[in-house]
């Protein structure tokens, strides 16, 4: 089968578009498991071989698609989807003439139960991102992997690589051991703020508890569809723990958690605070004000309302149009097409902001 | 507009497909259990390359826990988001009963009908001609 044949009508449309594109969620992978050994310190090799990855049970539901990937994303190098730079250029960066792409590798290093080993893995993946991706492709930027369950270990890695221009944010998974407002994570935020790096929180992970607030679901569709309920308590925790009072310049990016749930959540938090605010006297503003100032949200997977004007209403209700960042989630199966994801009829200025300009500003890209 | 020789029948065995491009359209031609079908290689959802997707069946449950699998190999699943289309009609079985992808008429004609001068280049350049061979012809409206 001629795998690169794409409908010409589709190609023409995408090339005629003048809207710049920055993709804020690209999953790259190592070509093979052996590749990791090149970047992992020798002292960890034996542990890696004998013990290896030991995380919590969580998002272990069969993905319906191998590697949770688009079936047309298997690269010619024989490795997993997202492991071949040439193919990634062809299928993503060049195909849509993207200005920049932000790498968000899902490495599992942050969820390791052996925190020191997790920190060693995180450092290895950071060095790999630079050597194999950003140094070879100037449109790419990297995310700092950290052993986020230990604030100090995470801060140490941010100190090690945080000044490098190749990294634009710190990356965590949304299902953590405890809600992210807890003080155990504050050293990490302190280091991120010191290096002026946003902290990004991505779909997935496992913190040891059931993956929903009401126990274990039966299906992958519930794991996937229910992910917003992992994001919502994180937003509440950041706000009510006073994280933004302690770190007034901290920026948090929510990746792949959807966005349609945000308006009712902040309405609820606001009305709770008006009645129960005495419990959290360190808060000096409405929860919605902290949220609108400190959170950025990526688009994919876009909720797809049955009527296009519902989406416009949603954006009005959120009032965070300067905080929305376009993302494809390449090479995963729920990939959003840059030309198809946003509803047609959206204001052009707003479209440009979401597709690239908000990300350009946040990540200080040219 | 027009009829296009896509392949020799033997080039696309049952369960296989061929992606072709005619008149500015990418089209997938499929052999399902000996019958040929052609669909536009563009998913009605987000424009994904539909015809690179997996051929699967139709899974239904009248009540929870009672599963019926039918029409194996007749449902085309988009490689991006898994939207399914009926290979025979282009009818989507996902999301909206009204969503269709374009399907095209396919004829299988005896080799002698298209071995005249007009179709010559197809025989020579792409498809070997056997005397008894039949060809797959795509009919574009």
Per-residue model confidence as pLDDT tens digits over A153-169: 999 999 999 999 999 99
Matching residue, tokens 């995963």: A332
* ipTM, 2 dp: 0.74
Q: What is the 3-state secondary structure (H, E, C) of A188-256?
A: HHHHHHHCCCCEEEECCCCCCCCCECCECCCCHHHHHHCCHHHHHHHHHHHHHCCHHHHCCCCCEEEEC
Q: What is the pLDDT of residue A15?
A: 46
Q: What is the pLDDT of residue B129?
A: 24
- Whether residue B131 is predicted with pLDDT greater than 50 in this model: the reply is no
**Tens-digit pLDDT profile for residues A322-354:** 999 999 999 999 999 999 889 888 899 999 999
- CA distances A74 to A29, A80, A93, A147, A336, Å, are 12, 6, 16, 29, 17
Please name the residue of chain A whose CA is at the shortest distance from the CA of residue B20: A5
Whole-number Å distance between alpha carbons of B22 and A189: 56
Residue among A310, A321, A327 nearest A353 (CA): A321
pLDDT category at A5 given cuts 50, 70, 90 is low
- Whether residue A12 is predicted with pLDDT greater than 50 in this model: the reply is no
User: Mean pLDDT in chain B?
Assistant: 75
- Whether residue B137 is predicted with pLDDT greater than 60 in this model: the reply is yes
- Find which of B15, B19, B20, B126 to mutate to test the A interface (most A CBs within 10 Å of its CB): B19
Considering only CB atoms, which chain A residues are within 8 Å of B54?
A: 71
A170-186: average pLDDT:
97
Comparing A340 with A260, the larger pLDDT belongs to A260
Dihedral angle, C-alpha A280, A285, A286, A288, nearest 10 °: -110
Q: With contact defined as beta carbons under 8 Å apart, do A159 and A151 qualify?
A: no
- Residues in B 45-64 with any Cβ partner in A closer than 8 A: 45-49, 52-54
Crossing angle between the packed helical segments A228-240 and A262-276, to the nearest 10 degrees: 40
Q: What is the pLDDT of residue A194?
A: 98
- Whether residue A19 is predicted with pLDDT greater than 90 in this model: the reply is yes
Whole-number Å distance between alpha carbons of A233 and A228: 9
**Tens-digit pLDDT profile for residues A285-304:** 999 999 999 999 999 998 88
Q: Which range among A151-165, A195-209, A325-339, B122-136 shows the weakest confidence by mean pLDDT?
A: B122-136
**Cβ–Cβ gap A337/B48 under 8 Å:** yes
pLDDT category at A10 given cuts 50, 70, 90 is low
Tokens of A347: 């204001």
pLDDT category at B132 given cuts 50, 70, 90 is very low
**Cβ–Cβ gap A8/B52 under 8 Å:** no
Question: What is the number of residues in chain A?
Answer: 366
Peptide bond into B94 cis (omega under 30): no
A23: three-class secondary structure by DSSP: strand
Measure CB to CB from residue B79 to each of A8, A70, A337 and give the nearest one. Answer: A70
Residue among A147, A138, A79, A140 nearest A113 (CA): A147
Tokens of B36: 């040929």
The beta-strand segments (E) located in chain A are 22-26, 100-103, 140-145, 167-173, 199-202, 252-255, 295-298, 324-325
**Tens-digit pLDDT profile for residues A47-102:** 999 999 998 887 778 877 778 899 899 999 999 999 999 999 999 999 999 999 99
Q: Which helix (H) or strand (E) holds B86?
A: strand B84-86
Q: What is the pLDDT of residue A23?
A: 98
> What's chain B's Rg over C-alpha atoms?
17
Whole-number Å distance between alpha carbons of A251 and A295: 6
């Amino acid at each position: 089968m001629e795998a690169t044949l794409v409908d010409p009508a589709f190609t023409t449309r995408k090339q005629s578009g003048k809207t710049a594109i920055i993709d804020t969620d690209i999953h790259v992978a190592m070509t093979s498991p052996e590749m990791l050994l090149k970047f992992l310190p020798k002292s960890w090799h034996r542990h890696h071989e004998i013990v290896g990855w030991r995380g919590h049970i969580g998002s272990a539901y069969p993905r319906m698609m191998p590697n949770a990937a688009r079936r047309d994303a298997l690269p010619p190098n024989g490795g997993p989807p997202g492991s071949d730079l040439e193919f990634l250029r062809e299928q993503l960066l060049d195909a849509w003439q993207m200005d920049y792409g932000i790498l968000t590798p899902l490495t599992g290093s942050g969820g390791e139960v052996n925190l020191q080993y997790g920190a060693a893995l995180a450092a290895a993946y950071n060095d790999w991102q630079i050597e194999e991706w950003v140094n070879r492709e100037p449109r790419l930027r990297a995310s700092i992997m950290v052993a986020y369950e230990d604030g100090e270990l995470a801060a140490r890695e941010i100190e090690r690589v945080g000044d490098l221009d190749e990294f634009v944010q710190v990356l965590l998974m949304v299902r953590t051991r405890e809600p992210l407002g807890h003080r155990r994570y504050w050293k990490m935020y302190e280091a991120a703020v010191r290096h002026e790096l946003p902290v990004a929180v991505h779909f997935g992970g496992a913190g040891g508890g059931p993956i929903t607030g009401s126990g274990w679901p039966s299906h992958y569709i519930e794991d996937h569809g229910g992910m917003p309920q992992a994001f919502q308590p994180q937003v509440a925790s950041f706000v009510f723990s006073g994280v933004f009072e302690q770190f007034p310049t901290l920026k948090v990016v929510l990746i792949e958690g959807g966005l349609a749930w945000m308006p009712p959540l902040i309405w609820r938090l606001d009305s709770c605070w008006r009645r129960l605010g005495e419990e959290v006297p360190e808060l000096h503003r409405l929860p919605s004000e902290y949220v609108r100032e400190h959170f950025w949200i990526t688009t994919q997977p876009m909720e797809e309302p049955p009527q296009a004007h519902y989406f416009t209403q949603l954006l009005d209700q959120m009032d965070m149009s300067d905080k929305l960042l376009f993302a494809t989630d390449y090479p995963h199966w729920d990939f959003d097409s840059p030309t198809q994801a946003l509803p047609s009829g959206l204001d052009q200025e707003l479209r440009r902001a979401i597709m690239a300009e908000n990300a350009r500003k946040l990540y200080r890209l040219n | 507009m027009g009829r296009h020789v896509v392949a020799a029948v033997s080039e696309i065995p049952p369960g296989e497909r061929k992606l072709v491009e005619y008149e500015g359209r990418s089209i997938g031609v499929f052999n399902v259990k000996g019958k040929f079908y052609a669909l536009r290689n563009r998913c009605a959802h987000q424009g994904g390359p539909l015809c690179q997707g997996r051929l699967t069946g139709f899974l239904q449950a009248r009540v929870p826990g009672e599963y019926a699998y039918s029409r194996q190999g007749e449902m085309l699943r988009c490689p991006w988001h898994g939207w399914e289309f009926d290979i025979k009609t282009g009818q989507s079985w996902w999301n909206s009963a009204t969503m269709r992808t374009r399907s095209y008429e396919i004829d299988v004609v005896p080799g002698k009908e298209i071995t005249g001068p007009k179709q010559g280049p197809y025989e020579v350049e792409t498809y070997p001609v056997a005397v008894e061979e039949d060809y797959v012809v795509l009919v574009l409206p």
